[in-house]
Amino acid sequence: MALVLAGFTHLWNPIGFPVPNEDESIYLGRAVNFLNTLELTDNSIGYNHPYFGQIFLAAFLGITDYQDFFTSPGHLNYEMIFLIPRIFMGILAIADTFLIFKIAELLYNRKVGFVAAILFAVTPTTWLTRWILLDSIQLPLILLSILFAVFSFRGTREGSKNNSKNILLVLLSGTFLGLSIFTKIPAIMIVPLVGYLIFTNSKWNFKILGLWFIPVILIPLLWPAYSISVGEFNSWLNGIIKQAHRAPNPLYFSITEFLMRDPLLLIVGTIGIILAVVKKDLFILLAVIPFLIFMYFVNYVVLHHLMWVVVILCISASRLFVDILTFVKRYKPLLLLSLGGISLFFVFAFTSTIELVTRNETSQFFGAAALVDQYLEAKLITNNNNSPDSNKNIKVLGNTFFIWIQQYVFHNDNYVSFFQIPKKLEFENQNVISIIDSRFKRELQRDDYTGITLRKMFSTFDTKSIATFNPTLYGDKIDILLTNLERPNKTAIEVTNILDKANHWKKSKYMDIQRGLGTLNMTVDTKNATKDSNVNTAFLKTPLNLTKGPTLLSIGYLTKSDDTNTEFIIEIRDKNNTELWTRLLKHTNGIFQPQLLSLGTDISDEQIKLDVKIRTNEKGLHTISFNKFSLIS
């Protein structure tokens, strides 16, 4: 019965609920990229999680011929692309239900196991396992490790406790826990629990405990070992440090959200944990206390990080229910009252879950994704060019749901997630499509670099709405905006045209400056220079004022050089010649390229100096030409 209920609550309407999580697309992208290239490291993000999760997910997707959905960057069936992996998550959740039953049955009794499995099948917060996340993949690995630890030495006589069957169970337990840590680091907090089970079941045998530790330690070490093998240990270390120092989101906030979403399970399960303290139930205490302490000190916890806590709450609540019924079974009125209260608990939990899993929270996401694909396809056809490069003048910003296929499968750099926008924002495009969902809106409203810069871009340039997708009943609407970086909104901005003839330049020895109609050419001729390496600079003599807030630099430029190692640089300095901002420009091979650069939010000075540098490494002719060079405030 528990498995039937779990099948319904975890497999019904898998793509309609819940709303896509931004991390789902990252893990899907890594899995598909691994299938196609066998590359383990995500170059766009770096080392933030170990590799087993994406390998495990890639194995399932490979079996289902998942790559067949990506034959072309256009006409993508987003519903099917999300349906298959979410069904896989549902299957894992059903397996979790069975494993919870077996663990609780072996540790306590069949009644506790049955009630715990039913709770996990019907309580609202177990919908978290529907998301395609490392936590969902990690959970059955942890449960398998515990199950094999519980099985080990069970019913074995003292004289035969080291037989091959028990050794195999111990190694399997260690292997699955090692794989769970190799999926996501917080699983290391399950080591005290499983180690305790192995140690006590083996009659305090240190050799058996040491044997169990071997895969627990060696398997996760594959992650740093790989980084060393490819010469990226420093990147691995920096990734760990960065992951540990993200913007704080304390455990308290996630517990508060848990209380709002599933108050009954949290309250009853917590009472069950208190009962475990009274009864000195070390299984429940070792399962939850080290994990919560770790999460408290990590100080970055979102609700789905508490999937393991949900399991323990189900088991502790189950034991509480069974103990209550056992205690009052001799008193019929109390027994009936207790049965009625527990039944109401399950009815309320199940109806709440049904209300959730029958929602449609995703139709606007699929509609918006399809429209953007169709828009870009129409642009491609209009350009009479079947090459994807015909859309290179369009950048797409949005939630990872909308861009992961283009990034990870087709390796299109013009698709960028809003939270991957670098600290030095730049667009080498004429148009920007922004897919604004609720998460994007929150980023836009923040007073950090990304929020301020994007708001500045929308207000500075011609921005219009392409489409709006309203939700059927639940969730937020999605707006699709098109920003033309060739059309400044002149009524709302102040533009300083650096190409204006009123702006005078001073040049160094080998540089020649020529002005044309709306152009500025800077050429360095080092054929007769005394040395190969030279830095030639054009100094803008006219001081510039940047006191009106965040400033954008809009340029159109081409470069030509006899040396591919020549560097073309724009630099901004304050009146004391301290460098405030610098940018290395790309080689364009004689073709004009537009670029929008943000000077950041911390550059504000009455007088700044602007330089253009040409750094050469070999003698020859080197040119940079501008047909657009404007500061936009």
pLDDT exceeds cutoff 60 at 543? yes
**Helix (H, G, I), strand (E, B), or coil: what is residue 605?**
coil
Q: Are residues 427 and 342 in the same domain?
A: no
Largest CA distance in the chain: 106
Q: Are residues 55 and 142 in the same domain?
A: yes
Q: Please give the mean pLDDT across all residues of the chain.
A: 87
Q: Are residues 273 and 420 in the same domain?
A: no
| Domain end call among 357, 381, 397 | 357
pLDDT (mean) for 404-422: 80
Q: What is the pLDDT of residues 260-281, one digit of tens each?
A: 999 999 999 999 999 999 999 9
Q: Are residues 430 and 526 in the same domain?
A: no
pLDDT band for position 484 (cuts 50, 70, 90): confident
pLDDT for position 389? 46
pLDDT exceeds cutoff 80 at 379? no
Residue 18, preceding peptide bond in cis (omega within 30° of 0):
yes
pLDDT (mean) for 440-452: 82
pLDDT for position 171? 95
pLDDT (mean) for 193-200: 95
pLDDT band for position 388 (cuts 50, 70, 90): very low
| Domain end call among 437, 460, 493 | 493
Task: Give the range among 223-232, 289-298, 525-534, 620-629 with minimum mean pLDDT.
Answer: 525-534
pLDDT for position 601? 61
Q: Are residues 397 and 504 in the same domain?
A: no
Q: What is the pLDDT of residues 7-22, one digit of tens each?
A: 999 999 999 999 998 8
Q: Are residues 447 and 488 in the same domain?
A: yes
Token representation of residue 625: 């030409």
Contact 387, 422 (CB under 8 A): no
> 10 Å Cβ neighbour count for 621?
14
HSE toward the beta carbon, residue 520, CA cutoff 13 A: 20
CA 294 to chain centre: 21
Q: Are residues 482 and 510 in the same domain?
A: no
Contact 553, 570 (CB under 8 A): yes
Q: What is the pLDDT of residues 574-633, one digit of tens each?
A: 878 888 888 889 888 888 888 888 876 666 666 788 889 988 888 888 899 999 888 887
pLDDT (mean) for 453-459: 82
Q: What is the pLDDT of residues 14-57, one digit of tens each?
A: 999 999 988 999 999 999 999 988 888 887 777 888 999 999 99
Task: Give the range among 68-72, 208-212, 226-230, 343-347 with minimum mean pLDDT.
Answer: 68-72
| Count: domains in the chain | 3
Q: Are residues 353 and 472 in the same domain?
A: no
Q: Are residues 515 and 489 in the same domain?
A: no
Beta strands in 421-518 (DSSP E): 426-427, 431-436, 461-469, 478-488, 495-497, 505-507, 511-516
pLDDT for position 418? 74
pLDDT, greater one: 389 or 103: 103
- Buried-exposed string 121-147: b where 16+ CB fall within 10 A, e elsewhere: bbbbbbbbbbbbbbbbbbbbbbbbbbb
Count helices and strands in the chain by DSSP H and E runs = 19, 17
pLDDT, greater one: 3 or 244: 3
Q: What is the pLDDT of residues 224-242, one digit of tens each?
A: 999 999 888 888 888 888 8
d(CA 25, CA 30): 8
What residue type is assigned to position 319 of the chain? Answer: R
The pairing of strands 552-561 and 567-574 is unpaired
d(CA 524, CA 526): 6
pTM of the model: 0.85
**Helix (H, G, I), strand (E, B), or coil: what is residue 622?**
strand
Q: Are residues 205 and 151 in the same domain?
A: yes
Task: Give the range among 205-214, 227-236, 435-444, 592-601 with minimum mean pLDDT.
Answer: 592-601
**Highest-scoring range by mean pLDDT, 415-419, 424-428, 482-486:** 482-486
- Domain extent at residue 445: 363-493
Q: Are residues 436 and 508 in the same domain?
A: no
Q: Are residues 295 and 382 in the same domain?
A: no
Question: Distance from first CA to last CA of the chain, Å, rounded?
Answer: 65
Q: What is the pLDDT of residues 72-114, one digit of tens each?
A: 766 788 889 999 999 999 999 999 999 999 999 999 999 999 9
Task: Give the range among 123-127, 132-136, 391-395 with minimum mean pLDDT.
Answer: 391-395
d(CA 47, CA 240): 7
**Shortest CA distance to 269 belongs to which of 326, 324, 314?**
314
CATH number at residue 529: 2.60.120.430
Token representation of residue 470: 């309203």
pLDDT, greater one: 250 or 501: 250
| Domain end call among 313, 339, 357 | 357
pLDDT exceeds cutoff 60 at 381? no
